[in-house]
Amino acid sequence: MKLNLKIWRQKNNKTKGKIQDYILDGVEEDMSFLEMLDFLNNKLLNEGGEPVAFDHDCREGICGSCSLFINGVAHGPERGTTTCQLHMRKFKDGDTIFIEPFRSRAFPVIKDLIVDRSSFDRIQQAGAYVSVNTSGNTQDANAIPVSKEDADEAFNSATCIGCGACVASCKNSSAMLFTAAKISQYSLLPQGKVERKQRALNMVKQMDLEGFGACTNTGACEAQCPKEISIKNIARMNREYLMANIKK
């Protein structure tokens, strides 16, 4: 395939960026999207140019690093798929593809397509720990009864990979779906209920401090989440937060 790539190039978050055009010929349909970018970078290096900086790690849809805005859609045109799992057979010969970083005030650009998502780390850190009594004979975690419904819901929430697609897709740059997923995965389990009230208060407070916007329930976050995290988690987080404030 021959593609017309329009890629955001930006030296750092102190400089202005712009879209640059690249014509790339010889792209194979079985390449992943990131392999296509590798192919482009090899071409740029051979021509003495500067490669395009983009984030990646596992390339297996697990780490959430490969966060790109492709033709105006977080992670590209295929639902429930990360950028690294998107293949070029989803595009056609001669296509024009716009590739941009996730955009949010809380996700400042580091370089080109790489953004700083450490704000997510700080939200998780604000949730602190789960109390475990390690003195004496510690109870086996598998011996603690958990209903299948709660276990399934907690597991579904825990599948969030923190990629930031929810933020990038939201018109308000809200991190409610991410924060709600992280709160839900603990509040549904007995191990997480000791700190559940303080966890909800701390994580929501940190989310606001990071500069994320409010949720207006458009559902764009759920639609673009590669792990299809349900917005039901946001309702659960709001309930946890309200109850924690009442108890407080």
Q: What percent of the chain has pLDDT over 90?
A: 86
Reported as a single tens digit per residue, the pLDDT across 190-221 is 888 888 899 999 999 999 999 999 999 999 99
- Structural domain boundaries enclosing 34: 2-110
Q: Are strands 73-74 and 114-115 parallel, antiparallel or unpaired?
A: unpaired
Which positions ≥6 away from 176 have C-beta within 8 Å?
Answer: 166, 207, 212, 214, 215, 221, 234, 237
Which residue in this structure is represented by tokens 């953004």? Answer: 115
Reported as a single tens digit per residue, the pLDDT across 123-180 is 999 997 777 666 666 667 677 788 999 999 999 999 999 999 999 999 999 999 999 9
C-beta of residue 100 within 8 angstroms of C-beta of residue 10:
no
Question: Are 56 and 168 members of one domain?
Answer: no
- Number of domains comprising the chain: 2
Question: Are 34 and 7 members of one domain?
Answer: yes
Length in residues, the chain = 248
Question: Are 88 and 146 members of one domain?
Answer: no
C-beta of residue 223 within 8 angstroms of C-beta of residue 230:
no
C-beta of residue 103 within 8 angstroms of C-beta of residue 171:
no
Question: Are 20 and 59 members of one domain?
Answer: yes
Q: What percent of the chain has pLDDT over 70?
A: 96
CA-based end-to-end distance of the chain: 61
What pTM, to 2 d.p., does this model score? 0.91
CATH number at residue 159: 1.10.1060.10
CATH number at residue 16: 3.10.20.30
Question: Are 158 and 97 members of one domain?
Answer: no
Question: Are 71 and 152 members of one domain?
Answer: no
- Is 90 exceeded by the pLDDT of residue 122? yes
DSSP state letter for 87: B
What confidence score (pLDDT) does residue 141 get?
65
Mean pLDDT to the nearest integer, 119-124: 96
Torsion of CA 173, 86, 122, 203, to 10 degrees: 60
What confidence score (pLDDT) does residue 190 get?
86
What confidence score (pLDDT) does residue 193 get?
85
* CA dist., res. 167 & res. 190, Å (int): 29
Which positions ≥6 away from 197 have C-beta within 8 Å?
Answer: 240, 243, 244, 247, 248
Question: Are 127 and 217 members of one domain?
Answer: yes
Question: Are 18 and 126 members of one domain?
Answer: no
